[in-house]
Chain A
Amino acid sequence: MFKKALSSPHIHQPPYSTQGMMFRVILALLPAAAAYAWLFGWGVIINILLAVGVALVCEAAMLTLRSRPLLPTITDGSAILTALLLVFALPPLAPWWLTTIGVAFAIIVAKHLYGGLGFNPFNPAMIGYVVLLVSFPRELTLWSLPAQLAEHTLDFRATLNYIFSGTLPTNLTIDALTSATPLDVMKTQLGLGQTTSGIMAAQPVFGFMGGKGWVWINLLLLAGGLWMIYRRIINWHIPVSLLGSLLAISSLFFLLDPEHSPSPLFHLFSGAAILGAFFIATDPVTAATSNTGRLWYGAGIGILIYVIRSWGGFPDGVAFAVLLMNMAAPTIDHYTKPRVFGHGDKDA
């Protein structure tokens, strides 16, 4: 399937099969997933199992309805990867129906109604997330606290109970377990007229670079992403241009007005920028395909992330930025067609 999604000219064969590529991406995500579960509790693991289960069931159902061969597609790992990426975007204590709706929408509508893997114009995981963000804004703000800050932690049974029935142990309320995310706190406090240094000092959720806990997950994602570039699973163009443009525009505003603009490091390590740069924007189906195109595509996402975070209505903008640039990818491809060897003027 993946071979169809690549466009010509091919000089090399793609180094990996679809399956080999998907499972290597999943492998690169696992350390960060483990850290996420370590810091935020059992909910992450339950969410991953639930999401992967729902994704496989939806994939099998849609393949059957479309009378497509079941085994080659269901074992290619793409549905598992979609589910895993979506779990990274969801709160650790997301109720079961939230995860289920998001994954089902991603697989059924965003992937199979458009023709399956290789034909979907939008990143399925991000569509699933945006549907949830637009439909259930309240549920998505209930992030549990990272382990260093939490006064109460839920054991496995209590977490399972909360995710599936919404009931907590009698002495706890959901407010004691959750708080706003670093990006959310930053946005709200800046809106109240606070300065960035004051916010970083006063709010317990911030560590030395960004949010406590979030930094570790992001560093592991960065490591996984660099490993993928080293193994040639992804090209360097999209991550570099995405993070580069985000770094450039946030540095510009930070230098102009450091009291009201969060630092570039905060932008890189507190939200989903790293996840987006290495794991989401690099989806070969929905990204631009030529190398020049990839640079433009990544730069567009980086700038849109900053614009949405700073002046938009949501604390983080990675999902919207990726979807907007997905929409622009065919146009970018049109204007950045590589010159065919032996044709056209080199100087023109």
Chain B
Amino acid sequence: MSDHQYADITRSGLWSNNVALVQILGLCPLLAVTNTTINGLGLGIATTLVLVASSLIVSLIRNIVRTEIRLPAFVMIIASLVTAIELAMNAWFHELFNILGIFIPLIVTNCAILGRAESFAVKNPPLPSVIDALAMGVGFMAVLIVLGAMREAIGSGTLFADAHLMFGDWASILTVTLIDDYRGFLLAILPPGAFIGLGLLIALKNYFEARSEKRRKSERIAQPAATAAHS
């Protein structure tokens, strides 16, 4: 595979085929835990780790596993990896693990992970599979963080609250209080806030997409000869 294709895979995972904004997969954890930035980051990292490892393993064994039994095999791989992540978080990030609760084990059911295994890793060699998984994971994590930050800022007027749960005690200084004596806008923290926030993010992405599309079109009209040569 050429560098050109790697760049395409990366762009697709981060933006044009983003798990949360375009494929709209993995909504359950996305909507449930993004009430603070740190929760979003924690779940994003865990999901990305599982996604990368599962894509690598699936890609390595893709020629050994028969197609008839591939799905149970993939699910078992993903479940083992999630169990490992769950135990590791319980050991080292115990408080964060308690906050994220059921949504760590539920990574197993995140269809984005099985989706990448089934639609990409099973058909491609290990290196592209890992790059694809990494791009998809980071794209998902970015949405989790942005949505978490939005809801936290509007809902409780802070940013990076509870950062010490993730990075140790020094990180308490990261916590920013945006508005002193804020009453809190509960709607943003409750589930409807997650749906409204995700809807706004999708709208924003579509807006950027439409704008760049328009610009590309007007460039094409301005330089018809150059475009014709490329295509």
Which A residues form the contact surface with B (CB < 8 A)? 101, 109, 131, 134-137
Contact = CB atoms under 8 A, between A and B. Distances in A.
16 contacts: A101-B185, A109-B196, A131-B187, A134-B186, A134-B187, A134-B190, A134-B192, A135-B184, A135-B185, A135-B186, A135-B187, A135-B188, A136-B183, A136-B185, A136-B186, A137-B186
Given A109-B196, A135-B186, A135-B187, 4 more contacts: A131-B187, A134-B190, A135-B184, A135-B188
A135 B185 CA distance: 5
Nearest to A105: B187
Nearest to B188: A135
Contacts of A136: 183, 185-186
Closest 4 CB pairs of A and B: A135-B186, A135-B187, A135-B185, A131-B187
B184 to A, nearest CB: 8
The SS class assigned to the A binding surface is helix
Contacts of B190: 134
A251 B228 CA distance: 78
A109 B196 CA distance: 9
Interface string B186-204: 1110101000100000000
Interface residues of B, number: 9
Interface in B196-226: 196
B183 to A, nearest CB: 7
B13 to A, nearest CB: 29
Contacts of B192: 134
Nearest to B184: A135
Nearest to A95: B183
Q: Which of A109, A131, A135, A137 has the largest count of B CB atoms less than 10 A from its CB?
A: A135
A131 B185 CA distance: 9
Nearest to B190: A134
A50 B190 CA distance: 28
Contacts of A137: 186
Nearest to A139: B183
Query: Which of B183, B188, B190, B192 has most A Cβ within 10 Å?
Result: B183
A278 B19 CA distance: 46
Nearest to B183: A136
Nearest to A131: B187
Nearest to B200: A113
A335 B187 CA distance: 34
Nearest to B185: A135
A137 to B, nearest CB: 8
B193 to A, nearest CB: 9
A136 B184 CA distance: 8
A137 B184 CA distance: 11
A168 B190 CA distance: 32
A324 to B, nearest CB: 14
A341 to B, nearest CB: 42
A228 B116 CA distance: 59
A137 B186 CA distance: 9
Contacts of A134: 186-187, 190, 192
A109 B183 CA distance: 22
Nearest to A109: B196
Contacts of B188: 135
Nearest to B186: A135
Contacts of B184: 135
A135 B157 CA distance: 14
A137 B190 CA distance: 13
A135 B192 CA distance: 11
A109 B188 CA distance: 14
A314 to B, nearest CB: 14
A104 B176 CA distance: 27
A249 B186 CA distance: 34
A121 B185 CA distance: 24
Interface string B6-46: 00000000000000000000000000000000000000000
A184 B3 CA distance: 67
A112 to B, nearest CB: 13
Contacts of B183: 136
A133 to B, nearest CB: 10
A170 B9 CA distance: 67
Nearest to A97: B183
A101 B183 CA distance: 13
Interface string B63-96: 0000000000000000000000000000000000
A328 B183 CA distance: 34
A302 B196 CA distance: 29
Interface string B169-189: 000000000000001111110
Contacts of A101: 185
A115 to B, nearest CB: 13
Contacts of A131: 187
Contacts of B186: 134-137
Q: Which of B184, B185, B187, B190 has the most CB of A within 10 A?
A: B187
Nearest to B192: A134
A136 B183 CA distance: 8
A135 B187 CA distance: 5
Contacts of B187: 131, 134-135
A253 B179 CA distance: 49
B58 to A, nearest CB: 40
A166 B188 CA distance: 24
A136 B186 CA distance: 7
